[in-house]
């Protein structure tokens, strides 16, 4: 039996830092409001010349280095993003070019904040089916480009960044289960209302921004994130105490704390990095994972539950032995 296992992690945050204090000068907000309602202290913003594929490249190089392989050994590139470099080609192809990898499949996954979980699940299936052996799975975002910097209810929440993992075939798990969900009927609660085939004029005018009904999203997120844990535990016949670390989507520390409370999980077993980078959408889980691996909290052999919720709505989980 072939399983898939994470052999390397990497992440990258752009150099430019935007603190809550900096935001006080841009919109009518305060450091206290942002910290109390979201847990966010600062976020990183890509330079004007820096692209989603650039961020992805830096994170990927670190993951490849940790895996102890060379880029040429990668046989699939899957990149989750909601902020593609270009309308086409896919950002995964642009990343592949930067990595000097040629010929293997490379494609984007668009499931907004759940994108990385979707991408990891797809990579796992390809490896289990015996079609690929080493997949580079990346989440990368330049969300600062689609924020309305006059809207205090959204611009304080998001940031730019990237995270990556190398997933390799192994005789031992690895990924134990993945569960993916979506319900498009919630489209209007969290979206960018303009794009190529709807509102192209606004897109061209640079007015395509994130719109969110924060309260409704908050309630739904806590509900679905709690259900995801129960679903994965039941599918694997294990209990909450078997999970060493919960690595949730980093949107808001209050959502993460409410989810942990609902699951009666101690916050000591939850990875929270949102304070340092805000909500980086598809990049948030691999970013948090890499930070916790490199600072020594997450160790080989431990059981991790990755879970995400985002626009669509989409939600999903990955249970794995690291």
Which residues of the chain form contacts with ligand ACO (CB under 6 A)? 29, 33-34, 37-38, 112-113, 152-153, 156, 190, 214-215, 217-218, 221, 251-252, 255, 279, 281, 310-311
Q: C-beta of 69: minimal distance to ligand ACO in Å?
A: 32
Which CB sits closer to ligand ACO, 73 or 211?
211
Could you confirm whether 104 is annotated as catalytic?
A: no
Which CB sits closer to ligand ACO, 116 or 322?
116
b/e for 192-205, b at 16 or more Cβ within 10 A?
Answer: bebeeeeeeeebee
Q: C-beta of 215: minimal distance to ligand ACO in Å?
A: 5
Could you confirm whether 277 is annotated as catalytic?
A: no
Residue 91 CB neighbours (<10 A) = 25
Q: Closest-CB residue for ligand ACO?
A: 214
Q: One of 44, 113, 155, 194 is an active-site residue; which one? A: 113
Which CB sits closer to ligand ACO, 166 or 229?
229
Q: C-beta of 296: minimal distance to ligand ACO in Å?
A: 28
Which CB sits closer to ligand ACO, 170 or 257?
257
**105: three-class secondary structure by DSSP:** coil
* Cα distance between the two ends of the chain: 18
Task: Give one word for 36, left, alpha or beta, with left for phi > 0 and alpha for psi -120 to 50.
Answer: alpha
- Quickly list H helices, the chain: 20-24, 31-38, 52-67, 91-98, 115-128, 152-155, 200-204, 214-236, 253-262, 274-277, 284-294
Q: Residue 18 in contact with residue 44, Cβ under 8 Å?
A: yes
Could you confirm whether 191 is annotated as catalytic?
A: no
User: Which residues are catalytically annotated?
Assistant: 113, 249, 279
């Amino acid at each position: 039996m072939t399983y898939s296992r994470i052999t390397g992690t990497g992440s990258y945050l752009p150099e430019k830092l935007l603190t809550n204090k900096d935001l006080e000068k841009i919109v009518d907000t305060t450091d206290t409001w942002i910290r109390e309602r979201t847990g966010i202290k600062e976020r990183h913003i890509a330079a004007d010349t820096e692209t989603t594929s650039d961020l992805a490249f830096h994170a990927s190089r670190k993951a490849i280095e940790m895996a102890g392989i060379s880029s040429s050994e990668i046989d699939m590139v899957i990149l989750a993003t909601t902020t593609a470099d270009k309308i086409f080609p896919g950002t995964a192809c642009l990343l592949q070019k930067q990595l000097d990898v040629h010929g293997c499949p490379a494609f984007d996954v668009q499931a907004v904040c759940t994108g990385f979980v979707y991408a990891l699940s797809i990579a796992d299936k390809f490896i289990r089916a015996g079609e690929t052996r080493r997949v580079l799975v990346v989440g990368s975002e330049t969300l600062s480009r689609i924020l309305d910097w006059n809207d205090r209810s959204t611009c304080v929440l998001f940031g730019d960044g990237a995270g990556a993992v190398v997933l390799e075939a192994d005789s031992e798990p690895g990924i134990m289960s993945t569960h993916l969900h979506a319900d498009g009927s919630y489209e209007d609660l969290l979206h960018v209302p303009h794009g190529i085939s709807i509102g192209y004029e606004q897109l061209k005018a640079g007015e395509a921004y994130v719109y969110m009904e924060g309260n409704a999203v908050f309630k739904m997120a806590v509900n679905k994130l709690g259900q995801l844990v129960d679903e994965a535990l039941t599918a694997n016949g294990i209990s909450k105490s078997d999970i060493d670390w919960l690595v949730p989507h980093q949107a808001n520390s209050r959502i993460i704390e409410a989810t942990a409370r609902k699951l009666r999980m101690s916050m000591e077993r939850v990875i929270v990095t949102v304070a340092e980078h805000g909500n980086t959408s598809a990049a948030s889980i691999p970013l948090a994972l890499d930070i916790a691996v490199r600072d020594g909290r997450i160790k080989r052999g431990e059981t991790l539950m990755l879970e995400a919720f985002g626009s669509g709505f989409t939600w999903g989980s990955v249970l794995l032995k690291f």
